[in-house]
A and B are shown apart, each in its own frame.
Chain A
């Protein structure tokens, strides 16, 4: 390349880079404007600013800091129930997620586009209905109690677990699959020996993550009469006992931190 053509091409490349840069800035500007507009409409115009004063904020904060320790003895049983509900729901959700992920992973789905669509539809359905709504559905189906809560959370869990498993399956390294196929392995053996070991870390990580989400979910399952810490929380709310509410929330926090610690060791053990 001689000096003249080089100079020309540099101009060319510079111009191209400027163009893409401008487009990028334009995109950023559009996003910024959209965010600013949303804040204006939803927050700025829709809030009764006259109600918010420093005193009212401090007063609210103060009410929550007056911890009501008389609630503590009532915590143990529902806390245990919450953990059991979340665990059961996660395991049940996981079991139901496996076939859904199998259908919804484009590279292993058994009947092409049709079964893929079914899998993806099931995932979307699980995710697009709120856990409280699932709770209402199951309460009307199996009556009040923890079972309705477990079923609601399990069905709600399918969406996330199966989607992440399906995506992990789609992203597996194809080389081990080729090797197992070359040895004369069956489709199931390919799945078991080449795909499964690759997705185990995602599988375990997301299951633990979903469990931790389910602990939080089970705290509000009380709203539809499905037991756990939620029932206690709503009782305290009904009594406007802010100190009691704070204690229950702290209990939830402690549960989640314990879950986080447990998940750290579980991940290390498996991965």
Chain B
């Protein structure tokens, strides 16, 4: 089976501080990868190097065979349409309605003038409604995003990523701003949706239990180096100690 995402020897950082020191991994079409590791290990940087929100220094990011790091700005923009992203703090436009927030996921496909006039196609609106219904928010379509609870806001974020028709989902600490119960609900939803729409997922998550419960494979980062890669079953106490470089209770 052909890999969706192949990261090879990825380096990133500034002149004085290297954040990623040669990370490599391969993500298949049905994979749900968790990236775990202590704060400052480079999890967020790694995920942002894939869609080049952070510009890596060297290495390769092959997305369906295309090296994203070689693309021009406009070519990269077209590739970004195929990569959905879900954020820790949801990153919604607070003053827009739920519907308009989800529709921002179509901006990559909508011309500047049409988007300013908010003239999205009927298909887009139908799809937005379908997805909002799927994530359980069909009653909140016209509400402003800042009126929703944290869990609801993350659901809007998920719908916004899905309406891009992504071929890959980047998920950055989706549960850090949520309580444990809502966290599991959100993770369940992401897993169900990934299976339903056949989208592979690369997910940063600092909660090891959640990572093991929801993901098919775990990558352990420490100080910009990949310390571990394997199934949740293989992630034993010794491996965790290695990743976190400390006694695990």
Interface size class of A (residues with CB under 8 A): 10 to 19
Interface of A is mostly: helix
A21 touches B122 (CB 8 A): no
Pick the residue among A7, A13, A14, A21 that contacts B141 (CB under 8 A).
Answer: A13
Q: Cβ of B130: which chain A residues have Cβ within 8 Å of it?
A: 1, 6
Do B119 and A13 touch (CB < 8 A)? no
B125, A6: Cβ atoms closer than 8 Å: no
B133 and A14 contacting across the interface, CB-CB below 8 Å: no
Asked if A10 and B125 make an inter-chain contact with CB atoms under 8 angstroms apart, the answer reads yes
Q: Is the CB of A14 within 8 A of B119?
A: no
The answer to whether B122 and A9 touch across the interface, beta carbons within 8 angstroms, is no
> Is there a chain A Cβ closer than 8 Å to B99's Cβ?
yes
Q: Is the pair B129, A10 in contact by a Cβ cutoff of 8 Å?
A: yes
Which 5 pairs between the two chains have the least Cβ-Cβ distance?
A: A1-B133, A10-B126, A10-B125, A13-B125, A10-B129
Would you give the 0/1 interface string for A9-23, flagging 1 where the beta carbon is closer than 8 Å to chain B? 110011011000100
Q: Does B198 contact A (CB under 8 A)?
A: no
B119 x A21 contact (CB < 8 A)? yes
Residues of chain B within 8 A (CB-CB) of A13 are: 99, 125, 129, 141
Given contacts A6-B126, A13-B141, contact A21 B133 (CB under 8 A): no
Q: For the complex, give the distance between the alpha carbons of A51 and B68 in Å.
A: 62
B117 at the interface (CB under 8 A from A): yes
The reply on B237 being an interface residue by CB < 8 A is no
Q: Is the CB of A17 within 8 A of B117?
A: no
Which residues on A are within 8 Å of B, measured CB to CB?
1, 6-7, 9-10, 13-14, 16-17, 21
CB-contact partner of A17 in B118, B126, B138, under 8 A: B118
In the complex, are the beta carbons of A1 and B117 less than 8 A apart? no
Chain A residue at minimum C-beta to C-beta distance from B100: A17
A17 x B133 contact (CB < 8 A): no
With A and B bound together, what is the CA distance between A9 and B117 in angstroms? 21
1/0 contact string of B118-147 vs chain A (CB within 8 Å)? 110010011001100100001001100000
CB distance B129 to A17 under 8 Å?
no
Whole-angstrom CA separation of A16 from B99 in the bound complex: 12
| Chain B residues with CB below 8 A from A21, complex form | 117-119
Kindly list chain A residues whose C-beta atoms are within 8 Å of the C-beta of B118: 17, 21
**A14 close to B129 (CB less than 8 A):** no
* Bound Cα distance from A17 to B100, whole angstroms: 10
The residue on A at minimum CB distance from B130 is: A6
Which of A6, A14, A16, A17 has the most CB atoms of chain B within a 10 A radius of its CB?
Answer: A17
Q: Which residues of B contact A16 (CB under 8 A)?
A: 142
Q: Enumerate chain A residues within 8 angstroms of B125, measured Cβ to Cβ.
A: 10, 13-14, 17
Give 1 or 0 for each of B93-126: 1 = CB within 8 Å of chain A CB: 0000001000000000000000001110010011
11 more contacts with CB within 8 A, not counting A10-B122, A13-B129, A14-B122, are: A1-B133, A1-B138, A6-B126, A6-B133, A9-B129, A10-B129, A13-B125, A13-B141, A17-B118, A17-B125, A21-B118
